[in-house]
């Protein structure tokens, strides 16, 4: 049983090529083979070295390459030395290009970058859940963004909105007589955002919240004087920290999030 050498050549990680090879091999009762995987092949010089080696044994090429020069070279090499080659990407690119009537980017590694962005987003969402409502003060030192505000200033949904933009967000509910964690005090004011809200707005929100929970009697949670005390205390804390202040009284989550991102992007530009 002659040994065959199966080349998996990619300009990125090469997972697609390797998966196809293994899926195809499962259909044969043949074990005398070796998969030679080459990832991040980006130059003609690299490709030439790989292909030259293949001439010494029975080979087959599977490849996912987007640069036309590399694709053309491997096809020409295969013809010259009568080596089977399987182009896993070009037909798909050409078919989609024909339907869309536009040229593909032919940019190596795009899928991997998209995948990495997806996993970064998942990690950010998990971070927001873990460090919601000041559950673990250590999160303030790790966060990209910290949100401060009294109850019902939309800290949690805003944290998740920003997490879906790949930012790690921690938030802290500012309550009178509850000490501010030392980790929060040590954090850079540039990544802290104070959320304020009008007395009437938060009063209405809290009254509705109590109704949905089945409470009809008045409580300090929805009492205007208690709420005013909370607002004044939160404003004082925010003033001492010296961070940007955003009034969320009449803003949707997306609007507030975009204001915060504009601050962050402006700081990056500066």
245 and 123 fall within a common domain: yes
User: Which residues are part of a known binding site?
Assistant: 149-156
Choose the final residue of a domain: 108, 126, 143.
108
Are 145 and 254 contained in the same domain? Answer: yes
- Looking at the structure, tell me whether residues 135 and 158 fall in a common domain: yes
pLDDT, one tens digit per residue, over 145-167 is: 999 999 999 999 999 999 999 99
Same domain, 234 and 142: yes
Shared-domain flag, residues 102 and 133: no
Has residue 218 got a pLDDT over 70? no
pTM, full prediction: 0.60
CATH assignment of the domain containing 216: 3.40.50
pLDDT digits (tens, 9 = 90+) for 170-199: 999 999 988 999 999 999 999 999 999 999
Q: How many domains does the chain have?
A: 2
- φ, ψ at 181 (rounded to 5°): -55, 145
Name residue 85's beta-bridge partners: 61
Contacts of 219 (CB under 8 A, 6+ apart): 210
Decide which of 51, 77, 108 is a domain's last residue: 108
Cα(21)–Cα(61) distance, rounded to whole angstroms? Answer: 10
Per-residue pLDDT band for 13 (boundaries 50, 70, 90) equals confident
Helix (H, G, I), strand (E, B) or coil at 38: strand
Q: How confident is the model at residue 119 (pLDDT cuts 50, 70, 90)?
A: confident
Out of 78, 108, 138, pick the residue that ends a domain.
Answer: 108
**pLDDT per residue as tens digits for the range 81-90:** 999 999 888 8
What are the binding residues for ADP?
149-156
Q: Name the residue range of residue 62's domain.
A: 4-108
**Quick one: 85 and 128 in the same domain?**
no
Q: What is the pLDDT of residue 115?
A: 59
More confident residue, 115 or 56: 56
On whether both 122 and 50 belong to a single domain, the answer is: no
Same domain, 121 and 48: no
Same domain membership, residue 124 and residue 70: no
How far is residue 6's CA from residue 42's CA, in Å, rounded to a whole number? Answer: 20
Check whether residue 256 and residue 186 sit in a common domain. yes
Does 142 share its domain with 216?
yes
């Amino acid at each position: 049983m002659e040994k065959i050498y199966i080349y998996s050549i990619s300009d990125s990680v090469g997972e697609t090529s390797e998966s196809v090879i293994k899926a195809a091999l499962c259909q044969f009762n043949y074990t005398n083979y070796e998969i030679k995987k080459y990832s991040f092949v980006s130059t003609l010089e690299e490709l030439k070295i790989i292909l030259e080696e293949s001439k010494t044994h029975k080979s087959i090429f599977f490849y996912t390459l987007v640069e036309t020069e590399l694709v053309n070279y491997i096809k020409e090499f295969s013809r010259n030395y009568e080596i089977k080659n399987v182009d896993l990407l070009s037909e798909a690119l050409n078919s989609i290009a024909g339907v869309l009537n536009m040229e593909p980017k032919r940019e190596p590694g795009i899928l991997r970058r998209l995948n990495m962005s997806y996993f970064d987003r998942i990690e950010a969402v998990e971070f927001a859940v873990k460090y919601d409502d000041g559950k673990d003060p250590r999160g303030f030192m790790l966060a990209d963004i910290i949100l401060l505000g009294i109850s019902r200033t939309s800290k949690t949904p805003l944290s998740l909105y920003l997490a879906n933009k790949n930012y790690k967000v921690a938030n802290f509910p500012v309550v009178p007589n509850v000490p501010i964690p030392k980790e929060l005090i040590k954090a850079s004011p540039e990544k802290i955002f104070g959320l304020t809200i009008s007395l009437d707005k938060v009063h209405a929100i809290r009254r509705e919240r109590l109704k949905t929970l089945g409470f009809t009697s008045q409580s300090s949670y929805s009492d205007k004087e208690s709420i005013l005390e909370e607002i004044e205390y939160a404003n004082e804390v925010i003033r001492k920290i010296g961070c940007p202040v955003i009034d969320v009284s009449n803003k949707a989550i997306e609007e507030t999030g975009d204001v915060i991102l504009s601050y962050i992007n402006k700081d990056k530009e500066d």
